[in-house]
């Protein structure tokens, strides 16, 4: 019997009765788009994050696009983000016509290195997308101070960090706005695509509600060019059930991570680096090793799920060739891409499985 990287089947089996009832309730209601489930989920996510507003959209990528649009970011503007993240964090900047500008990462946390951030700001800079990588927040309060000096917007890309904390504050509550993804494999995952934006700015929230619905406040009266980006009622109902479990699931992931940290303390690998002010939700437990090929071969041979997050830093992605970056521009991100390897870390994982995984990681 193998061990998957993430066991969504086991998760579903544990909450099947509640999920099935929620989905059937939506089917029965015959209200499938922009209905009561979505509105209730918006209120619950806003309360969970400690923000005034939450706006549900079709996915986490759209959440970034609509947020950039709502702040008027477009052609001629620069947006600073990390090269060590999922493509969407920078793809969306290009989608709205702006230029992604990368800032290298911290070698311990793998989040953007804030000592380098201010040197990336130019007169064209309009925003910073602060990505909380693998579920560990970066210091958004510090970014907000830098942003205030230069009149910049700060968007938290919290796709991997719902429920994570920094200095007692939840992910999403610190920037001007924050985006979430409920892609199935995220800590709070739908059974399809889904996303959300949170903010304390009610005028931005109103703009986002227009943008997701073809630029309308009133049906068939289009005030601007918008998008079709809505979170459907079935996904909202599923997410409302799962939201009740999120804190206990996140705590369980932290427990698994703690055991890995302990079991791997003497092993010739680098365990995930921790910022003492951050409480991670361990979206992924990512080791670093110079022996990655051999380790992957051992894990795969034993039927143990493993994956590289991320194999190529964004500045070296083919799609961004036009930006003119070269190998060596962001050496810390490049090294992380050569060394990083995720191993299974999810609530349903047993201690026996973790010990088997560790034995295979170290090659005993
Ligand atoms: C998953 C993810 C996204 C995109 O979310 P989708 O819902 O897949 O569109 C954006 N940024 C980061 C950091 C992510 O991990």
Could you read off the pLDDT of 81-129 as tens digits, one per residue?
Answer: 999 999 999 999 999 999 999 999 999 999 999 999 999 999 999 999 9
The string of DSSP letters for 65-92 reads HHHHHHTT--TT-EEEE-SSS-THHHHH
195: CA distance to ligand 1 center in Å?
A: 9
The two structure tokens encoding residue 324: 């003119």
pLDDT at 315 over 70: yes
Atom of ligand 1 nearest to the CA of 131: 13
Whether the per-residue pLDDT at 1 is higher than 70: the answer is: no
Closest CA to 315 of 142, 44, 122, 87: 87
Q: What is the mean pLDDT of residues 271-291?
A: 98
If one residue of 6, 56, 57, 60 were mutated to test the ligand 1 pocket, choosing by the most ligand atoms within 8 A of its CB, it would be 60
pLDDT at res. 147: 98
Give residue 2 CA to ligand 1 midpoint distance, Å.
27
CB atoms within 10 A of CB 154: 20
β partners of residue 130: 156
At residue 236, the pLDDT reads 98
114 Cα to the center of ligand 1, angstroms: 22
The string of pLDDT tens digits covering residues 142-169 is 999 999 999 999 999 999 999 999 999 9
Q: Which fold has domain 8-103+111-243?
A: 3.40.640
* Domain locations along the chain: 8-103+111-243, 246-362
CATH of segment(s) 246-362: 3.90.1150.10
Q: Is 149 within 8 Å of 126 (Cβ atoms)? A: no
Average pLDDT, the chain: 98
The helix (H) or strand (E) run that includes residue 165 is strand 165-166
Can 8-103+111-243 and 246-362 be said to share one CATH topology? no
Whole-number percent of the chain with pLDDT over 70:
100
Q: Residue 174 and residue 50: Cα distance in Å, rounded?
A: 10
The Cα-based distances of 57 to 37, 62, 181, 203, 235 in angstroms read: 13, 7, 9, 17, 11
Ligand 1, atom 10, residue with closest C-alpha = 88
pLDDT band at residue 364 using 50, 70 and 90 as cut-offs: confident
The alpha carbon of residue 201 and the mean position of all alpha carbons in its chain are separated, in whole angstroms, by 21
Is 88 a pocket residue for ligand 1 (Cβ < 6 Å)?
yes
- Which residue in 358, 331, 346 sits closest to 84, CA to CA? 331
Closest atom, ligand 1, to C-alpha of 89: 11
Beta strands of 267-327 (E only): which ranges?
Answer: 278-279, 285-288
**Residue 159 CB less than 6 A away from ligand 1:** yes
Q: What is the pLDDT of residues 31-87, one digit of tens each?
A: 999 999 999 999 999 999 999 999 999 999 999 999 999 999 999 999 999 999 999
Q: Is 173 in the pocket of ligand 1 (CB under 6 A)?
A: no
> In ligand 1, which atom is closest to the CA atom of 183?
7
Rounded to two decimals, the pTM is 0.98
């Amino acid at each position: 019997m193998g061990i998957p990287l993430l066991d969504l089947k086991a998760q579903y089996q544990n909450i099947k009765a509640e999920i099935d009832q929620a989905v059937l309730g939506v089917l029965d209601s015959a209200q499938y788009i922009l209905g009561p489930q979505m509105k209730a989920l918006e209120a619950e996510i806003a309360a969970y994050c400690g923000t005034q507003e939450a706006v549900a959209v079709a996915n986490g990528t759209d959440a970034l696009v609509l947020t950039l649009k709502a702040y008027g970011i477009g052609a001629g503007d620069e947006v600073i983000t990390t090269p060590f993240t999922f493509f969407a964090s920078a793809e969306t900047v290009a989608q709205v016509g702006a230029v992604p500008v990368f800032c290298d990462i911290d070698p311990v946390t793998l989040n953007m290195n804030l000592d380098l951030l201010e040197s990336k700001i130019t007169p064209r800079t309009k925003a910073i997308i602060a990505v909380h990588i693998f579920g560990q927040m970066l210091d958004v309060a510090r970014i907000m101070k830098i942003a205030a000096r230069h009149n910049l917007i700060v968007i938290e890309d919290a796709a991997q960090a719902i429920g994570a904390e920094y200095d007692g504050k939840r992910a999403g509550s610190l920037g001007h706005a924050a985006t979430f993804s409920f892609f199935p494999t995220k800590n709070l995952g739908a059974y399809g695509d889904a996303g959300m934006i949170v903010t304390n700015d009610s005028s931005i929230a109103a703009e986002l509600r227009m943008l997701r619905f073809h630029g309308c406040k009133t049906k068939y009266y289009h005030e601007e060019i918008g998008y079709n980006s809505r979170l459907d009622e079935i996904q909202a109902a599923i997410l409302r059930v799962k939201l009740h479990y999120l804190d206990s699931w996140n705590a369980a992931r932290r427990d698994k991570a703690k055991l890995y940290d302990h079991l791997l303390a003497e092993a010739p690998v680098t365990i995930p680096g921790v910022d003492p002010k951050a409480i991670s939700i361990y979206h992924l437990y990512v080791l670093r090793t110079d022996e990655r090929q051999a380790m992957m071969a051992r894990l795969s041979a034993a039927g143990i799920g493993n994956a590289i997050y991320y194999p190529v830093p964004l500045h070296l992605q083919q799609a961004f060739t036009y930006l003119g970056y070269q190998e060596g521009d962001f050496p810390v991100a490049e090294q992380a891409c050569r060394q990083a390897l995720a191993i299974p870390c999810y609530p349903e994982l047993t201690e026996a499985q973790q010990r088997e995984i560790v034995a295979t990681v170290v090659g005993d």
